[in-house]
Amino acid sequence: MDKIINVLSTEQLSIGYKSRSKITEVAHNINISLQDASLYSVIGVNGSGKSTFLKTIAGLIPTLSGDVFCYENNIKNMSARDLSSLVSCVFTGFPDLGLMRVFDVISLGRYLYTGFTGRLSVDDQDVVNGIISILDIEDLSDKYFFQLSDGQKQKVMIGRALAQQSKIILLDEPTAFLDFQNRVAIDLLLRQLVDNLGLTVVVSTHDINNALKISDKVLLFSSDLRVQTLNPKKEEGLSLIERTFANQNIIFNRSDTSFSIKL
Amino acid sequence: MKDSRRNLVLFIFLVSFCFSLFILRIFLGSVWLSPRGIFDFFSNNGSPAAFIFKVRIGRAIMALFAGAGLSVAGLLLQVYFRNPLAGPFVLGINSGASLGAALAIMVFSGIGGSFSGGIFLYHSGVLLFSCLGAFLMVVIVSIVSARVTSNTGLLIFGVLVGYFINAAISIFSYFSVPEKIKIYFLWAEGSFNPPNQGWMMNLFVAFVLFFIFFALFISKNLNIMKLGDNYAQSSGVNLVLAKVSIIIPAGFLSGIVTSFCGPIAFVGLFVPHVARMAFHTEDHRVLVPGVVVLGGIMALLADLVAQLPGLSYVLPVNPILTLVSAPFVLFLILKNGRTNG
């Protein structure tokens, strides 16, 4: 059997926001370890700290206490450059990229690898073209980013993250504002990245039904500041998820692991 | 690849156009200068034509580099604030420079109308203070922008700062003497007149050129900053270093140009948009040289129109620049209002 590799782990991690006068803790005592080639869905109600968690493990905001380790290195001691070769991100919403074309947007992910002029080498171009064919967006390559539909834009932003060629990719609600078809397309794409490219994908979402279907593990952020790693294929994991999200309006169907409206 | 060929041809055309305007600016004006003047100038014979040539070439150089410098500053500020309406004029950075100049001219230059320390110290005082004022304003706007995230919010801040500083200057002038007030308002009108000392103009050109090259040097960072702070950092950018290396040249360029030429309206906001439209790109390796040439063209054109060739009037350049640019800013606000809510 293959040795299990921990690509990212946390120890006694406490996350939140610090302002001059007060500290707002959104989750604490987080002890998780994420394995190679797995898909993790981060679920929890609004304000339970999903985005804060992703930004913290991406090294964008400091921890309140505790540590994050990426391939055994404490991210506190890593430069943005070092960390970006291991972790790439897709944030919620789209930046205003003006007249940038799809190929150029994905090329921005090569920042790490290009020299100070930013000119793409032949290798860099091959990487970008390879990603464009994985995403199946060859026909969009020359289009301006602003001309794309939201579903296409999200693919391009994922492509930009892939261009960093990092083993871990973090996505903050990538399907939040997409229509039903595009949600499924993005979810399947994420599964494909794990199965075919061996990446570790951590994705926050409110689409719990899909999350339970595509994920290897679920990170459940509760309103009592706790974070638990659950297996969506196991009975005890499912009952905890049911207790968290089901209420008088929502019923959970065990047989196909999905929530639906109670009428 | 088709883009880059087209852009190269366009760039060469614009450089030649800029050069022609530069030459035209030397010969056209309230007085027609015959090519004889150039020979007189280089043979150092001190004829009136040689003198006119010397003044005109100085003015053309000042216009060229002021336009280029302000446009690069505007481009950098638009990246830094991620705001298409950013520019030295609208953000109140020019007002900061005006306050510095007013302080130097009306408050610190000795009591009773005589300038202590002679004309040279006085001139450098104005330059230093207006440059400092501009820089202070850059710092203040940076702090404010952390709290004011809407595009128009920052614009309103710039307008309010303008009013505030104008009010302060009115109060200074109430206690000042007419000669000083006149000197201040001549500066505040904005012009591309060269400074009295030739070496000062050389210093100006050297500074502007240095920071233009600096902007070109950081164009890879400018490109990735388009994505926003989070994306930039997670792509491997040292965010603090990148931001400082954008705001320092932006502050210096707007400060230096404004201290030498007075507040010049809208060039810094307007030209980067023209460059993006002309070159169809967001790539700053193209945009930085693009705004340099287009900024030079815009300033030279405005200065040419200001001379009203053939007439004996000379208009100030700011109203001309404002007449062209202000409707465009309004257009940008309306466009933003539709898309960004």
Please report the domains of chain A, with CATH numbers, ordered by start residue: 1-86+166-263 (3.40.50.300), 94-165 (no CATH)
Residue of A nearest to B82 (CA): A96
Nearest beta carbon to residue A99 from set B236, B237, B281 = B281
Interface list for chain B against chain A, based on CB atoms closer than 8 Å = 82, 217, 219-220, 223-224, 226-228, 230-231, 233-239, 276, 280-283, 285
Cβ contacts (< 8 Å) between A96 and chain B: which residues?
A: 82, 226
Residue of A nearest to B286 (CA): A117
Q: What is the mean pLDDT of chain B?
A: 85
**CB half-sphere exposure, A102, CA atoms < 13 A:** 23
Residue of B nearest to A87 (CA): B234
Instruction: Give the Cα separation of A43 and A41 in Å (integer).
Output: 6
How many Å lie between the alpha carbon of A22 and the closest alpha carbon of chain B? 18
- Enumerate residues 6+ apart whose C-beta is below 8 A from B319: none
Look up the domain containing B310 and give its range.
Answer: 2-340
What pLDDT, in 10s, does the model give residues A10-49? 999 999 988 888 888 999 999 999 999 999 999 998 888 9
Q: Supply the CATH number for residue B271's domain.
A: 1.10.3470.10
Residue A233 in tokens: 């294929």
Look at A126-130, A142-146, B36-40 and tell me which has the smallest mean pLDDT: B36-40
How many Å lie between the alpha carbon of A238 and the closest alpha carbon of chain B? 34
Q: What is the structure's pLDDT at B146?
A: 78
Cβ contacts (< 8 Å) between B234 and chain A: which residues?
A: 58-60, 80, 83-84, 87-89
How many domains does chain B fold into? 1
Q: What is the mean pLDDT of chain A?
A: 92
Whether the CB-CB separation of B74 and B269 falls below 8 Å is answered with yes
Whether the CB-CB separation of B201 and B194 falls below 8 Å is answered with yes
Average confidence (pLDDT) over A181-189: 95
The better pLDDT of the pair B311, A197 is held by: A197
Strand runs (DSSP E) across B209-249, as ranges?
none
Q: Which ipTM was obtained for this model? A: 0.94
What pLDDT, in 10s, does the model give residues B286-317? 999 999 999 999 999 999 888 776 666 778 88
Q: With CB atoms and an 8 Å threshold, state whether A111 touches B282.
A: no
B104 — pLDDT class (breaks 50, 70, 90): confident
SS3 content of chain A, % helix, strand, coil (to 5): 35, 25, 35
Query: Per-residue pLDDT for A183 more than 80?
Result: yes
Cβ contacts (< 8 Å) between B237 and chain A: which residues?
A: 80, 111
Look at A127-131, A200-204, B28-32, B55-59 and tell me which has the smallest mean pLDDT: B28-32
Residue of B nearest to A162 (CA): B235
A59 — pLDDT class (breaks 50, 70, 90): very high
Nearest C-alpha neighbor of A236 from the set A228, A246, A224, A225: A228
B interface mutation test: which of A57, A88, A90, A99 has the most B CBs within 10 A?
Answer: A99
Cβ contacts (< 8 Å) between B228 and chain A: which residues?
A: 91, 95
Strand partners, A74: A69
What pLDDT, in 10s, does the model give residues A80-115? 999 999 999 999 999 989 889 999 999 999 999 998
Q: With CB atoms and an 8 Å threshold, state whether B231 touches A89.
A: yes
Whether the CB-CB separation of A226 and A240 falls below 8 Å is answered with no
Nearest beta carbon to residue A89 from set B220, B234, B237 = B234
B336 — pLDDT class (breaks 50, 70, 90): low
Q: With CB atoms and an 8 Å threshold, state whether B280 touches A99.
A: yes
Q: What is the structure's pLDDT at A21?
A: 83
DSSP-assigned letters across all residues of B129-187? HHHHHHHHHHHHHHHHHHH--SHHHHHHHHHHHHHHHHHHHHHHHHHS-HHHHHHHHHH
